[in-house]
Amino acid sequence: MTLAAPGVPTGAPGAYRTEPLATTPGLGGLYARGAASSGTIAARRVLPGETPEPALPAVALRVEDVPTGPEVAARLAAYQRLVGERVGDALPAGFLHVLAFPVATALMVRGDFPLPLLGMVHVANAVTLARPVALGQLLTVDAWAQDLRPHRRGVTVDLVTEVRADGEGAYRGVSTYLARGVSLEATGTDGAEGTAGAHDAQEPAGSRPGFVPPLPTGRWRLPAGTGRAYAAVSGDRNPIHLSALSAKAFGFPRAVAHGMYTAARALAEVGTARGAAYDWTVRFAHPVLLPGTVDVAITPAADGAGDGHEYVGWDAWRARRHFAGTVVPR
């Protein structure tokens, strides 16, 4: 995971060319294209001799003049209510992630993106909000992929999104995805198709034995509709989040909460201590099955150094970690 550099934006790697998109694409169509291209990629990988070493497209997609006017206000308020943010004109970092996510997804469904969209598991996210962003500002969103690297279960890749608000660098998000069963060597025939990230396919952080939950500071009772509610405000209608039935099709026993919903809720619950600009990280472990109860500890960072907070969420009955992260003011 590449941590955000102090300066935002950093811009895409030098060799990348910028490719403009007219508008922010719709996620629904992207998932359909992603499903199709995932099939193509899978087919390519089982045909010996046709699997070139995977390489990332040296392209940064850019959408300019993304409006955040009245058309976004109601959605922002719904997002803020859902994750527990103070309802107002400020766009929390999680909402900027939501706005930038379709651009990153558009990159992942391109024909030259080497990994299948369906089956990729979001394992970590690191965000820097360098300056506050408010309703009414015009946004420019850049998205590119970088740092394709081996992982013991496959490969991971960072999808980087950067947001300028009225021309000023404001936000940088690095979403790390794991594609299981994909190898950087061009063997291509290991056959371990990464279906949709069934729950044993997560980042090892949470399954590491010896996780001892701290004393909780809160308890989240997440109703069955949590995934649908976050889908409505985020636009991320990945079927694993929507219903038990659609989740089962991808190997989950029940619907799964969006990881970014849990991280955004933790960010909101840190409260005003995070300041107007902050760094916000999360690592996802075991998925949160819905309906479900998550115990959380959101506490001032243990080292007592800065005024940051750390958070962790877990299944109290099984002492399994769902996610952990930090929120540190800048």
Partner 1 sequence: MATTPEPASSRSEDAGASGGAAGVPRTRDAVIVGGNRIPFARAGGKYAAASNQDMFTAALEGLVARFGLQGERLGEVVGGAVLKHSRDFNLVRESVLGSSLSPQTPAYDLQQACATGLEAVVSVANKIRLGQVESGIAGGADTVSDAPIAVSEGLRRVLLEASHARSTKARVAAFAKLRPRDLAPLSPSTDEPRTGLSMGEHQAITTARWGITREAQDAVALASHRNLAAAWDSGFFDDLVTPFRGLTRDQNLRPDSSAEKLASLRPVFGARLEGTEPSMTAGNSTPLTDGASAVLLASRAWAAERHLPVLARVVDAETAAVDYVHGHEGLLMAPAHAVPRLLARHGLGLGDFDLYEIHEAFASTVLTTLAAWEDADYCREELGLDGPLGSIDRDRLNVNGSSVAAGHPFAATGGRIVATAAKLAAARAAETGRTARALVSVCAAGGLGVAAIIESAAPGTEA
Q: Enumerate binding residues for partner 1 (CB under 8 A).
A: 212-221, 225, 269-271, 295, 297-300, 309, 316-317, 319
Least Å from the CB of residue 188 to partner 1: 44
How many Cα atoms are found within 13 Å in the side-chain-facing hemisphere of 241? 20
Query: Which of 198/297 has CB closer to partner 1?
Result: 297
Least Å from the CB of residue 212 to partner 1: 6
Angstrom distances, CA of residue 173 to CA of 56, 131, 271, 275: 18, 13, 20, 18
Angstrom distances, CA of residue 97 to CA of 113, 143, 151: 21, 11, 25
Least Å from the CB of residue 191 to partner 1: 40
Query: Which of 35/273 has CB closer to partner 1?
Result: 273
Query: Which of 305/317 has CB closer to partner 1?
Result: 317
**Torsions phi, psi of 40, nearest 5?**
-60, -45
Query: Which of 45/309 has CB closer to partner 1?
Result: 309
Q: Are 153 and 198 in contact (CB under 8 A)?
A: no
Query: Which of 187/217 has CB closer to partner 1?
Result: 217
**Torsions phi, psi of 115, nearest 5?**
-120, 150
Reduced to 3 states (helix: H, G, I; strand: E, B; else coil), residue 330 is coil
Query: Which of 225/275 has CB closer to partner 1?
Result: 225
Largest CA distance in the chain: 56
At residue 67's C-alpha, the angle toward residues 79 and 330, to 5°, is 60
CB atoms within 10 A of CB 297: 17
Least Å from the CB of residue 219 to partner 1: 4
Query: Which of 31/314 has CB closer to partner 1?
Result: 314
At residue 125's C-alpha, the angle toward residues 119 and 66, to 5°, is 90
As given in the structure block, the two tokens for residue 95 are: 């909402």
Strands of the chain, DSSP E: 17-21, 59-66, 120-129, 139-151, 154-165, 168-180, 218-222, 278-284, 292-300, 309-315, 320-329
Least Å from the CB of residue 300 to partner 1: 6
Least Å from the CB of residue 286 to partner 1: 16
Least Å from the CB of residue 36 to partner 1: 32
